[in-house]
Chain A
Amino acid sequence: MVDLHTPGGVLRAVDDVSFTVQKGRTLALLGESGCGKSLTAQSIVGLLDPVAEVSGGAAFLGETDVLTLDRAGRREIAGPKLAIVFQDALTALNPVQPVGRQLAEPFRIHRGLSRRAARAEAIELMGRVGIPEPAARYRSYPHQFSGGMRQRLLIAMAVALGPDVLLADEPTTALDVTVQAQIMQLLRDLQTERDMAVVLITHDLALVAERADDVAVMYAGNVVETGPVREVFDHPRHPYTKGLLDSVPEHARKGVPLPAVAGSPPELSLIPSGCVFQARCPLAADRCVQERPQLEPAGDGRAAACHFAEELTHA
């Protein structure tokens, strides 16, 4: 759970979010803006904005609940165990330090390498993520790289110490499609090479279809459906998942209106007490107003928080 302390009062931005991800696998946290997917990631890596506070829950990395760690404990796992790639590489990189120095830093701090040895490691890593002429670019500053190259540098920093879990928060949203494809391929190669678990945070259904093994669909601070991507996308059990999939124009017939989901996501201050999706749901009934559906495991690795999951399955 994550609460936001705002002038208007305390808002619950992340309410009930549970997921697991295994080594070598990719879980996608899929949702629209404001659903709480980035806050979830930020609380896991301990980078929440001061107005936000984790008010409940746990996040286990192996045996450790990372939410209980103090600053020193955090520092110890940040890099070798857990790392994050942000969406906007220009703000994530230090603009007044050469990129090579920033890349060498984890090796100096965590491995205690000498300046020279850390530099060698950093240059090798720059080459590995596809920066041309890495030794020559070692002293360049972030603004001297293109958006795609900056994203490569950010990925290099994240994987430098071989983390077990890599969180990637919209890592390609700001990039052109041909560059996006290159970056996603790089992430995939690194994941295989280093056997990392990846949590991919995105609003892009197609990216999830291509890149993730499992998916957790979020809406208004809650996970409303989880399961293996192929099965969830082929036979959604939550009306929100179904609505999202239907509104992608990809398979729509030309000249026919797209099956849009009516309305828009609720404001945090106006999330209803029953089902979070009730106001926009074509199946909503009295029960959905009175009782919030829980994420019920169906036994096949899937779960959906909907009173009518069964009906949707057989629809």
Chain B
Amino acid sequence: MPEVLAPPVLTASGLRKTFRVGRKDLTALDGVDLSIGRGETVGLVGESGCGKSTLARVLLMLARPDAGTVRFGEVDPFTLRGKELLAWRRRVQMVFQDPYASLNERMTAEELIGEPWRTHRDAAPADRAARVRELLELVGLRAADAHRYPGEFSGGQRQRIGIARALALNPDLIVCDEPVSALDLSVQAQVLNLLAELQRELGVSYLFISHDLSVVRHVADRVSVMYLGKVVEEGPTEEVFDRPVHPYTAALMSAAPTLSPQEGERILLRGEIPSPLDPPSGCRFRTRCWKATAECAEPPPVEIRSAGHFGLCHHPL
């Protein structure tokens, strides 16, 4: 994997996003930084409510952050409006979790894959039919499948259609939100292989959101771990998995079942994730952390482990 980082396709810094829920504020993103290099896969892990999906929506330019910036090269697309914003949006596309819910049953594969060109007209190829067939073959389907409906495909094939649709606008970045978790295990590997192959061929970058740590470890060059709206640890995948800084990262990895279980030593956290409406002060993880002390009520310092690998913790491992 590239040691020297390629120039980032996208840099996000200090992202904040708050939603009003009743009389309370829910801070979904609380100062999130993220950068993704060209041809790089960044894994994003964290449990429900940690802000993964909000981050994805901001990067897709579907939600405007309250503070912070997103940069594509020199441009912050959120300073733009209308047509100009639309033109930037096409650089980021999405592959959804559920290939059953994300494809309209009444559209053929050809219509589904070509639909992005109806919104982004100036990005449409001259010969749409030919390009659809090219995309179908690129994702391992047959050109003859163009006129078939989603109902005629298996789950894995449907996900391939979803991937072809994401590629239709030649994006720089694809946000893959749990792209294999709805698929059967024996089919997951096929789709993961396809994503890797496409990356090699097209140089596209992925933000890969997944709860499955063994999948993330396999596909990601770097990993960001989120907890209650904050990135608590970030670094090269092997570094983070082998030498986690943050107790939460260690607990996540320890909790995930593995094929070769070790006897004993499993970190069992107490309690559950606190409500994001009422997060703990200081270190967000302190209410469940076995290393927590009084000072954890203060914002945690940055512990730098090695180049590009850091965690936010008063008591780093």
Contacts and interface: CB of A to CB of B under 8 A. Distances in A.
Nearest to A35: B184
A109 to B, nearest CB: 31
Contacts of B155: 264
A265 B272 CA distance: 36
A249 interface: yes
Interface of A: 32-33, 146, 148-149, 176-182, 184-185, 203-207, 209-211, 233, 240, 243-252, 254-255, 257-262, 264-265, 280
B82 interface: no
Given A32-B186, A233-B259, 18 more contacts: A177-B255, A178-B47, A178-B272, A179-B272, A204-B257, A206-B256, A206-B258, A209-B259, A210-B257, A246-B189, A247-B185, A250-B260, A252-B218, A260-B186, A260-B193, A264-B157, A264-B187, A280-B186
A209 B260 contact: yes
A178 B215 CA distance: 17
A264 B211 CA distance: 23
A264 B214 contact: no
B272 A264 contact: no
Given A177-B211, A182-B269, A257-B196, A247 B256 contact: no
Contacts, number: 120
B259 A251 contact: yes
Residue among A177, A206, A246 facing the most chain B CB atoms (10 A cut-off):
A177
A249 B192 CA distance: 9
Interface string B269-306: 10011000000000000001000000000000000000
A249 B218 contact: yes
Interface on chain A toward B: helix, strand, loop, or mixed SS?
Answer: helix
Contacts of B184: 32-33, 203, 264-265
Interface residues of B, number: 41
A78 B317 CA distance: 48
Contact of A261 (B186, B213, B215, B269): B186
Contacts of A176: 47-48, 211, 273
A249 B211 contact: no
Contacts of B211: 176-177
Interface of B: 1, 47-48, 154-157, 184-190, 192-193, 196-197, 211, 213-215, 217-219, 251-252, 254-261, 266, 268-269, 272-273, 288
28 contacts: A32-B185, A33-B184, A177-B252, A177-B256, A178-B272, A181-B255, A181-B257, A181-B268, A181-B269, A206-B214, A206-B256, A211-B257, A233-B259, A243-B186, A247-B185, A247-B186, A247-B188, A248-B185, A250-B218, A250-B259, A252-B218, A254-B1, A254-B218, A255-B1, A260-B193, A261-B186, A261-B187, A261-B189
A258 B196 CA distance: 10
A180 B258 CA distance: 13
Nearest to A179: B272
A244 to B, nearest CB: 6
5 smallest CB-CB distances across A and B, nearest first, come from: A249-B218, A260-B189, A247-B189, A206-B257, A176-B47
B261 A210 contact: yes
B255 A205 contact: no
Contacts of B186: 32, 240, 243-244, 247, 260-261, 264-265, 280
